[in-house]
Amino acid sequence: MSRHMTIATVKGRFRDFDGAIVFGEISRIAWSIRAASLETLDTRRDEHLRSPDFFDVERFPEITFEANGVELNGDGERSLVPGELTIKGVRRPVLLDGVFRGAAVHRLPHQHTTATANEQGALQ
């Protein structure tokens, strides 16, 4: 979800992604998103977001996240996940806020919020 010109909220999703979350003494999280799979239900907006103005999916087909650790807050549900997010070839540290919903195979059991990138590729 992102604010557009501070007057509208735009929701979207990526339809093609994979990832793994491994909990243990040292927890690891890694996921990869095919940037071209972006979908906001507005074809013109989707094409613009895939263009060099934003995600530049031709040159940078994947968005990735990697983390080596999860910081639990003690209630058994909420966590902070410090990691590295790579968008358009730029790797930056981010801190994701997570809620553990349970473990399962073949689905991501973590719900999280992420940073967004502006048209210069800077994370917000």
* pLDDT (tens digit per residue) in 54-107: 999 999 999 999 998 888 777 767 888 899 999 999 999 999 888 877 666 655
- Summarize pLDDT for 9-55 with one digit per residue, the tens: 888 999 999 998 887 788 889 999 999 999 999 999 999 999 999 99
pLDDT confidence of residue 122: 46
pTM: 0.72
14-110: CATH topology is Lipocalin (2.40.128)
Tell me the C-alpha distance between 71 and 77, whole Å.
Answer: 11
Question: Smallest Cα–Cα separation from 81: which of 104, 56, 110?
Answer: 110
Show me where the domains of the chain are located.
14-110
Strand partners, 117: 123
Please identify which residue in the block is written with the tokens 């790797």: 91
* CA Rg value for the chain: 15
Q: Is 46 helix (H, G, I), strand (E, B) or coil?
A: helix
Q: Are 82 and 93 in contact (CB under 8 A)?
A: yes
